[in-house]
């Protein structure tokens, strides 16, 4: 009887010790997991600060002729969390409370192989999509958009412009949507192309938008105005009688 009692007395501390080791291991695992997850949670909840710098004038050498004179454009920096990420021009278009679009500007080195120093020249780029929540800046794929000849007009998440084919021989009426890779509308406007001395943004006058119902009108030089009704991803050509009927309401 005395032997059994002594064994039980010895076993009790051992069982308590094993239980405490298990508890300590669980607490240690919990602390390690918490420490590992804290940076992830912090990154997920980080608030990004997006701002624009001051406007400044820049010389844009738009023409290719030797005697071409530079045009003055206004550019400014796009700053995310205190760091300059891009240079942009023109006013941004607010798509949602979270997203906006703005046109990019950049410098290219115009130096020849024999030049000893860089010759930086400002150029107009395409459009950027900026996410205020994530701080991410993404290029927007705009089919047939020509950074020299095309002028874009935004409405909601749609953008309308006159696109130019790669060979420069055709122009198109194009409506693109941010959520789609293919254009909502792509209709041929001209097969004559653009002259070599064509001015910037001369593919056509900037398209005009209407709301309720959503419509966009293209009016290239020398051709009648064409108006299209936008229904989500579908597009219908609006005839003159429908336009007159809407105007009379």
Q: What is the structure's pLDDT at 37?
A: 56
Q: What is the structure's pLDDT at 233?
A: 87
Query: What residue spans define the domains of the chain?
Result: 1-45, 47-140, 143-249
| CB-CB contact of 227 with 235 (8 Å) | no
Q: What is the structure's pLDDT at 33?
A: 57
Which residues does the chain have with pLDDT short of 70?
1-45, 63-67, 240-249
Question: DSSP states of 137-187 as a string?
Answer: EEE---TT--TTT---EEETTEEEEEEE-TTSS-EEEEEEETT-SS-SEEE
Q: What is the structure's pLDDT at 65?
A: 61
- Which residues on adjacent β-strands are paired with residue 94? 100
Q: What is the pTM of this model?
A: 0.77
The burial class, CB within 10 Å (0-12 / 13-18 / 19+), for 98 is exposed
Rounded Cα distance, 62 and 8, in Å = 95
Angle, vertex CA 238, rays to CA 234 and CA 244, nearest 5 = 145
Q: What are 131-179's pLDDT values in tens digits?
A: 999 999 999 999 999 999 999 999 999 999 999 999 889 999 999 999 8
């Amino acid at each position: 009887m005395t032997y059994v009692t002594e064994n039980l007395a010895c076993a009790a501390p051992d069982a308590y010790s094993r239980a405490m080791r298990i508890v300590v291991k669980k607490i240690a695992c919990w602390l390690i997991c918490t420490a590992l997850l804290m940076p992830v949670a912090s990154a997920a909840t980080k608030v990004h600060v997006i701002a624009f710098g001051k406007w400044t004038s820049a010389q844009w050498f738009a023409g290719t002729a030797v005697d071409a004179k530079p045009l003055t454009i206004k550019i400014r920096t796009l700053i995310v969390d205190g760091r300059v990420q891009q240079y942009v021009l023109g006013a941004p278009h607010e798509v949602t409370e979270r997203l906006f679009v703005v046109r990019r500007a950049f410098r290219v080195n115009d130096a020849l192989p024999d030049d000893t120093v860089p010759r930086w020249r400002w150029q107009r780029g395409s459009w950027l999509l900026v996410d205020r929540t994530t701080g991410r800046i993404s290029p927007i794929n705009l089919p047939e958009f020509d950074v020299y000849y095309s002028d874009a007009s935004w409405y909601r998440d749609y953008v309308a412009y006159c696109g130019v084919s790669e060979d420069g021989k055709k122009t198109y009426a194009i409506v693109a949507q941010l959520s789609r890779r293919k254009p909502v509308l792509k209709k041929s406007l001209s097969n004559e192309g653009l002259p070599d001395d064509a001015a910037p943004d001369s593919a056509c006058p900037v398209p005009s938008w209407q709301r309720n119902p959503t419509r966009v009108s293209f009016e290239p030089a020398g051709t009648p105005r064409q108006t299209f009704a936008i229904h989500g991803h579908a597009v219908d050509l609006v005839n003159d009688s429908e336009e007159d009927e809407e105007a009379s309401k």
